[in-house]
Structure 1
Amino acid sequence: MEIHIFVTNISNDRDILQLSTCLDLHAEIQNWNVDLTDDEKVLRIVTSNPVRNDFIALVESCGFACSPMDW
């Protein structure tokens, strides 16, 4: 299991609903959430896929900015 953490521009519940149409259908995603209270609108994806760039492209295809969170 991998946990990928991203910085996004997802800003409200409507954005989350739009994103859910992409992420909920993805077979490799076991769970995901967005912290709207965080300034960086952190997206966490739990998956069996170790390649985080796949998820950046997926989120961007839904119309949102997405970059890996660097510690």
Structure 2
Amino acid sequence: MEESARPGGILSTLQMHVFPRFGTVLVSDVTSADVRQVILAVRQAAPEVARKLVFRVSAVFKGRLPKA
């Protein structure tokens, strides 16, 4: 987990960039190709945000998000 990440900041980044792309798809149905597409799309506009998203999305799949 990123040292400086706050739970609210993590969630807001995911809400802004990831959730709209995946819609109502279950986490178990999201593929690595789906995640890659989101990261690459964000990277074009905001490389630093995309770098953070890699860690944040990984935390979702590993079940390691901090409790809000």
For the criterion TM > 0.5, the same-fold answer is no
Higher strand fraction: Structure 1 or Structure 2? Answer: 1
TM-score (norm: length of structure 1): 0.36
Higher helix fraction: Structure 1 or Structure 2? Answer: 2
TM-score (norm: length of structure 2): 0.37
